[in-house]
Chain A
Amino acid sequence: MRLPAALLVIAALMFGAATRAEAHFTSTSYLTADDSIGGDVRITWDVSAADFHWSLGLDRDGDGAITWEEIQTRRDDIASFALEHLRLGRGGQACDTHFTDLLLTTHAQEPHLSLEFRALCEKPGALSLSGTLFFDTNTTQRTLISAVTPVGEFTSILSPDSPRWTEPAAPSVLATFATFVGQGLWHVWIGYDHLAFLLLLLLPGVLRAVGAGWEAVPTFRETARDLFRIITAFTLAHSLTLALAATGTVSIPVRPVEVTIAASIVIAGLLNLFPRAARARLALAFGFGLVHGFGFANALAELGARGARLVPALAGFNIGVELAQLSLVLLVLPFLFRARTSAFYAWRFMPAASLVAAMAGAAWLVARVNV
């Protein structure tokens, strides 16, 4: 077995050549910058203790155990080494960053030193971050960035090939508004529950209750007026709660809202079976509109509308929702208006469709309660 060194190295990998990355190995650091309040930027950098040991040799007595004391005695070295590889800027100007504390933490079962820094930045503006610890000696090193600024929350990955992150320029008010008009439209059109509720309000809208029976609304003008009142009640209600929830004035948990929205479909569907209940539709539209508004607010919050983007986002989203509603009305109104005079529509189609929608609502209700 006389093999040259290089060959031995390779021979060794032959069996199970593909057993990659034996010990789990991360070489990942976590750089968090909090610039949410605008003043000093608070930075936490969690760096693998093993990576520090590789560069600085932390096991001073060589006994195979790095103790907290050994870390403490090298605290200044660790801090200045990290500081050499940390760059923070704001508004295009470098910030004055200094070390404040050293603690321990764990990421993915691996011990990390958690270094805290504070940066004094003179100018406001976009944040820029660079954390390049070990990039020169370890090609698999990654720095996971998480930054909170007045504009929003950002994440990014730094690697030796892309060692710097700059906060993306905030979209203009107009761009935000336009984006959120689209989001509002999209949310209603893919959100089957809002569509279903709206349809249930529209279906009997071309009819009037006369005693225990239905009668077609005579003119288009009157039909349009009836529908306008219902849709306006729904819109006013959901716009109100959407604004209240989006601005944080009122806070309602997601689940009860989603459950109530499903229940609103069941109730609206069943009420359509009874002409006598038609009178309650305006109140129904307004009452459940309030709940649907909270549903819209949850969707808006998930889209990251906060900080400086909130107002244009809220306005855009709301308008998008109204446009989606309007498009639905325009789509179904010609059909409904034409069908209104037939007994089949009033006594068969409308109740059947309502019942189907109510059953779907019941299924969503069960699913949402059991989440």
Chain B
Amino acid sequence: MRIVALIAGLALVASVAQAGEVGRFRPATPDYVVLEVPASASNDPIALLEQRRASEPENEAIAAGLAELYLARARTEREPRYFARAEALVRPWASLERARASTLRVQADILQNRHDFASAVKLLDRAIALDPRDAGAKLMRASVKMVGGRAAEARGDCAGVLASGESTSGTICLAQVLGATGGLARADALLKALVARDQLTLSATSGAPLAAATRFAQPVAGRAQPPATSASAAGAQAATPAGQVRAWALGLLADFSDRAGDSRAAETHLRAALVADPQNEGIRSALSDLLLTRGAYREALTLVDLPAPSIGLLARRARAQRQLRDPALEKTRSQIQDLVTLASRRGDPPHLREEALVAFDVDQDAAHALELAKANFGTQRETIDIRLLVRAARACGDGTTLRSVTQWIRETGYEDRQLPGAAT
């Protein structure tokens, strides 16, 4: 073991030394652009609250409130540094026995974002015990359980959200549970009705035509939620909270349609969802997956062409490039490798789902993909995770894994026409 550790250490030294030598340079002209950033905005609510916090650094409520604003912005601007800032804000209180519910909720959100679902649920249990009417904590707990494939356990929390008067979120939440526990058709109908109603409500509130993407980027008066302050470097508008909820519902509808075998409808829903929330990487990835499946490689490639791409986006880009015999594939591969290497050097947990996608679709290494997909299935059981595991297990002829997935599908009542043993 020691020799292995030694060799690994030396390889690390070599790679660090190499990374340190990446061309240092002095730009030739003063107007050389080093970095593109969101243009600054005046009256940024985050900036205002930061000022208040600076004058009251011991105030947990202000810190947690500010952290929640940062979390919201992390999602609208594809900038995960906001997560890290939020965590730093609540850090002094997060580990305390008497932490407030809002602090616990912020910390739980950060943990689930880091895929530490078990710890997130523990914090949410505490937050809900402190404030049994905390619909936000319940919604998050439901979400975390559903990601982990324990949809039945999420039902109570969804009902709680609904009972608190949050009819839209509560209904979407329940539809999601229903859709994962044998009631796909009913869930689909429920959600379609909601989206149709919701469309009217939203139009009446904002008075703008639904089709216009920018409509969702306008701050809605009277919201405590901060409006997105800026366009991202990608140039796409950030979504409003209402747009995000709409995208959530539409994305879910797309998932239902796809599992029911109607990929055309799924595509339509995802396109509408992307209009509602252009920065949502989950929607973007799901749409690109559909496009890749039906051979629309060029459009898929355009869709995932964002600055500072994540491994997930790069995996789809590489898959499209491979099909198009695009020589840029090698560059994409090396970008993926850079990110994977960096994550391991930093000691970050691996991106199992994304790395499994890369292994299966890009490297065509089914055995490695299966290993990753199995590990991923331990924490994430959304449609993509289940399908990926089944595809990899089939490619490797791994009957044991296939049987255990089939068993799980039978037990939960999960429906998907693409999967073996699914009761559709």
A residues bordering B, Cβ < 8 Å? Answer: 1, 3-28, 30, 32, 44, 46, 49-51, 53-54, 57-59, 62-72, 103-111, 113-114, 136-142, 144, 146, 153-155, 157, 159, 183, 186, 302-304
Contacts and interface: CB of A to CB of B under 8 A. Distances in A.
B310 A24 contact: yes
Contacts, number: 288
A16 B34 contact: no
Contact of B283 (A15, A103, A159): A15
A3 B205 CA distance: 13
A144 B248 contact: no
Contact of B223 (A5, A66, A114): A5
Interface residues of B, number: 112
16 contacts: A1-B245, A3-B168, A5-B72, A11-B139, A13-B140, A14-B176, A17-B112, A18-B382, A20-B351, A30-B20, A50-B81, A104-B26, A137-B84, A146-B20, A303-B3, A304-B9
A77 B400 CA distance: 60
Contact of A67 (B19, B31, B280): B31
Nearest to A64: B39
Interface stretch (B181-189, B321-329, B338-346, B358-366): B338-346
Given A18-B112, A27-B81, A66-B37, 6 more contacts: A28-B346, A30-B20, A49-B35, A53-B35, A62-B39, A104-B26
Interface in B1-58: 3, 6-7, 9-10, 12-13, 16-17, 19-20, 22-27, 29-40
Closest 8 CB pairs between A and B?
A16-B282, A69-B30, A12-B244, A8-B241, A5-B224, A64-B39, A15-B248, A15-B251
A15 B252 contact: yes
Contacts of A103: 24-26
Given A14-B143, A21-B310, A46 B20 contact: yes
A1 B88 contact: no
A336 B75 CA distance: 74
Given A62-B39, A107-B19, A10 B136 contact: yes
Interface stretch (B301-309, B367-375, B387-395, B403-411): B301-309
Interface in B70-117: 71-72, 74-76, 78-81, 83-85, 87-88, 91, 102, 105, 109, 112-115
Given A104-B24, A139-B91, A23 B308 contact: yes
Contact of B6 (A8, A12, A16, A304): A304
Interface string B207-244: 00000000000000001110000100100000001101
A319 to B, nearest CB: 17
B293 interface: no
B169 interface: yes
Contacts of A17: 112, 143-144, 146-147
A58 B23 CA distance: 23
B37 A68 contact: no
Contact of A21 (B6, B71, B113, B245): B113
A30 B382 contact: no
B257 interface: no
Contacts of B143: 10, 13-14, 17
Given A14-B248, A15-B251, A104 B34 contact: yes
Contacts of A144: 16, 345-346
Nearest to B30: A69
B172 A14 contact: yes
B291 interface: no
A109 B115 contact: no
B378 interface: no
B80 A25 contact: yes
Contact of B347 (A32, A57, A72, A142): A142
Contacts of A26: 342, 346
A68 B338 contact: no
Contacts of A23: 78-80, 306-310
B81 A108 contact: no
Contacts of A4: 135-136, 224
B346 A157 contact: yes
B135 A50 contact: no
Nearest to B353: A18
B282 to A, nearest CB: 2
A138 B88 contact: yes
A14 B34 contact: no
B91 A146 contact: no
B202 interface: yes
A106 B311 CA distance: 18
Contacts of A65: 33, 35-37
Nearest to B385: A18
Contacts of B285: 16, 19
B291 to A, nearest CB: 17
Contacts of A137: 84-85, 88
Given A25-B308, A71-B34, A14 B139 contact: yes
B338 A25 contact: no
B88 to A, nearest CB: 5
A18 B145 CA distance: 11
Nearest to A19: B282
Contact of B139 (A5, A7, A157): A7
B413 interface: no
A20 B113 contact: yes
A19 B309 CA distance: 13
B252 to A, nearest CB: 6
Nearest to B172: A14
A3 B380 contact: no
A9 B225 contact: yes
Contacts of B88: 136-139
Contacts of B280: 15-16, 19
A265 B309 CA distance: 51
Contact of A30 (B19, B32, B242, B347): B19
Interface string B274-304: 0001011111011000000000000000000
Contacts of B72: 5, 8-9, 12
Contacts of A72: 30
Contact of B335 (A10, A109, A140, A141): A109
B251 A16 contact: yes
Contacts of B380: 18
B308 A104 contact: no
A8 B244 contact: yes
Given A16-B251, A62-B39, A68 B225 contact: no
B222 to A, nearest CB: 9
